Amino acid sequence: MDNTEIAALLPHREPFLFVNEILKADKEGISARYVFTEDAFFFRGHFPQYPVVPGVILIETMAQSGGAGLCKLGMVGTESDTLFFLAAVDKVKFRRQVRPGETVRSEIVNLRVSTSSIKQAGKAYVGDELAAEAEWLCLIRRNNGTKTPDPQ
């Protein structure tokens, strides 16, 4: 897949689109990749002397990978009618720093998928090294005016 195909699956746009390619997508899980290029906006300030991908960006990368894979499968809608909002993030662990020029492979497991929410778990790897892991819940909102309830 190229960036145009990925953009057709997700509502995110540059500079906040963190999926380059879906490697695998089925009902059990998704595998995707993203290359963190040296010109990424956050490296200028995190940190100029020792640039590192922020942990929250790694979580976002995994969540976007999971959402893109589900959209590719037709399980949760398409970019034109669906927005995803992180509602909860649990069991987060950062194991390895991710630096400019490194490729992250996200391995996502679908825990629960419904018309209103997605529960997934994921691991982010650089090569064979585990960089981060987490579980998250995303709420789905349709762009046609139908609102998904806010988490409370």
Residue numbers annotated as active site:
46
Q: Are 108 and 62 in contact (CB under 8 A)?
A: yes
Q: What are phi and psi of 65, to 5 degrees?
A: -60, -45
> CA 111, CA 136: separation in Å to the nearest integer?
10
Instruction: Give the single-character DSSP code of 73.
Output: T
Q: Which residues pair with 129 in a beta bridge?
A: 126
The pairing of strands 82-94 and 117-126 is unpaired
Q: How many CB atoms lie within 10 A of CB 23?
A: 14
Instruction: Give the single-character DSSP code of 12.
Output: -
> CA 33, CA 103: separation in Å to the nearest integer?
7
The pairing of strands 82-94 and 103-113 is unpaired
